[in-house]
Amino acid sequence: MCDNGIVLVHSSVTARCKLSPAGYERMFRIRRSLNRLYNDSLEERKRAYQERKQKLSFYDQCKVLTKLRQSNEHGLGSIAVGPARGMLKRLDQAFKSFFRRVKVGQKPGYPRFRALARCVTIDVTSIRPSVLRDCGTYYAIRIKGFPRIQCYPSQTLPDSRQLQSLRLTLRGRHWHASMVYQLEQAATEPATAATGIDVGVRKRMTLSNGKTYKPHKRNWKRMRKAQRAVARCQKRSQTRRKRVARLARYRRREFVSQRNALHRATTEIVRSYGLIAVERLKVVNLTRSAKGTEEAPGTNVNAKAGLNREILSQNWSLLFSQLEYKAEWAGREYVEVDPKHTSQDCHRCGARNHPKRSETYRCAACGLTMDRDQNAAINILAAGVLAAGASTWAVTSCVAPEPYAGTSIRKFGI
């Protein structure tokens, strides 16, 4: 944050692009050239290590790229150098991730050669303001060697001089442009209220003050109909390709709709509360299969499979990710607490009850009766306030103008 109350944030905008039929054909040839560059560079790295025990870096391969452009190998000399460098950068990141996984003892996953169908992203480096131009009703993307690309964002784009990165992605039949801007914006007004958030399946989110957010109801009937249409087709047939593309478009529209709904909800929460406490959930572990092994088969496999589908349809990981980075932008406190017993403990007296499948929490000790998810959200908030100490404030560079206006705090396992 700057001294004048201005913060620098990165804002991402995605827009659908429009090209002519000749433009689509030109983009296909560019993809093919960049994919060959990726595979050739991967082969060059493998051969250099096997024959000479030499590790090539990104800059070493950029020198080779200069020679390839001079000889116009695979047509690389006719396009801008930025997309080619972006492909080499992507390969370099793949090797860095490989060595990182080897170092920590994870499954290495050595970089592999890519088919053209997997080359759907073009990263444009060395951004200049002239790359993106406002043409009134649309924005024109102009890159050397590329066709004329028109993008239609849903909002007015900032000054092109603030453009940090540009990425072109092929999704189905259409190209999309993702632009990242570095913007200055006023710091968010300080908030003294705090909230705890309990996520679920019947209600996507329940706040400690009782406010709830509706869950995402996926149209399983329509999705199964599209999946069965794909299953009935002969493999590698043209009809199967069309139906697979139709299913992919439906899933993409559904994901974008839910992502936008989460953006609206998380923005509202971050603007309203200064401390946001959530559960530290491992969604991967929660959605594991219950099949078990032949020696020890699992129980209620179908019920667990249905629960896994419902959990994944609520996009909890995306929800937590949005809350975390938006809280950092706004200077809020974001705390993750242990979810153990938060749905069982009474927030008033601390007694432990087992509501099982009931939506109403009833305490046998003090007689408390309230919504089960709200009781859990209050316990999460209490644990979050305890976890947010002086050291936490120093790390996040936040300032607490007043004590948080929350519920009573009771110490329990964090």
Q: What is the 3-state secondary structure (H, E, C) of the chain?
A: CCCCCEEEEEEEEEEEEECCHHHHHHHHHHHHHHHHHHHHHHHHHHHHHHHHCCCCCHHHHHHHHHHHHHCCHHHHHHCCHHHHHHHHHHHHHHHHHHHHHHHHCCCCCCCCCCCHHHCCEEEECCCCHHHEEECCCCEEECCCCCCCEEEECCCCCCCHHHEEEEEEEEECCEEEEEEEEEEEEECCCCCCEEEEEEECCCCCEEECCCCEECCCCCCHHHHHHHHHHHHCCCCCCHHHHHHHHHHHHHHHHHHHHHHHHHHHHHHHHHHHCCEEEEECCCHHHHCCCCCECCCCECCCHHHHHHHHHHHHHCCHHHHHHHHHHHHHHHCCEEEEECCCCCCCECCCCCCECCCCCCCEEECCCCCCEEEHHHHHHHHHHHHHHHHCCHHHHHHHCCCCCCCCECCCCCCCCC
Q: What is the pLDDT of residues 130-144, one digit of tens each?
A: 899 999 899 999 999
Task: Say how far apart CA 36 and CA 25 lie, in whole Å.
Answer: 17
pLDDT at 316 over 60: yes
pLDDT at 121 over 60: yes
HSE, CB side, 13 Å, CA atoms: give it for residue 255: 8
The DSSP bridge partners found for residue 10 are 182
Over residues 287-311, the mean pLDDT reads 85
Over residues 180-209, the mean pLDDT reads 88
Higher-pLDDT residue of 289, 19 = 19
Listed in sequence order, the residues at least 6 apart from 352 whose beta carbon sits closer than 8 Å to its beta carbon are: 341, 344, 345, 346
Q: What is the pLDDT of residues 37-49, one digit of tens each?
A: 999 999 999 999 9
Count of all residues that appear for the chain in the document: 414
The ranges assigned to domains in the chain are 6-186, 194-396
Q: What is the pLDDT of residues 55-69, one digit of tens each?
A: 999 999 999 999 999
pLDDT at 402 over 90: no
Task: Say how far apart CA 97 and CA 381 lie, in whole Å.
Answer: 36
pLDDT at 400 over 60: no
The contacts found for 151-154 with CB under 8 angstroms, 24 or more apart, are 151/15, 151/16, 151/17, 151/18, 151/177, 152/15, 152/16, 152/17, 152/18, 153/13, 153/14, 153/15, 154/15
Beta pairing, strands 205-207 & 333-337: unpaired
pLDDT of residue 403: 45
Predicted TM-score (pTM) of this structure: 0.81
Q: How many CB atoms lie within 10 A of CB 16?
A: 14
Task: Say how far apart CA 209 and CA 347 lie, in whole Å.
Answer: 13
pLDDT of residue 4: 60
Lowest mean pLDDT among 7-11, 27-31, 46-50, 388-392: 388-392
Beta pairing, strands 174-186 & 163-171: antiparallel
HSE, CB side, 13 Å, CA atoms: give it for residue 119: 26
pLDDT at 401 over 50: no
Mean residue pLDDT of the chain comes to 87
Listed in sequence order, the residues at least 6 apart from 250 whose beta carbon sits closer than 8 Å to its beta carbon are: 222, 223, 226
pLDDT of residue 398: 35
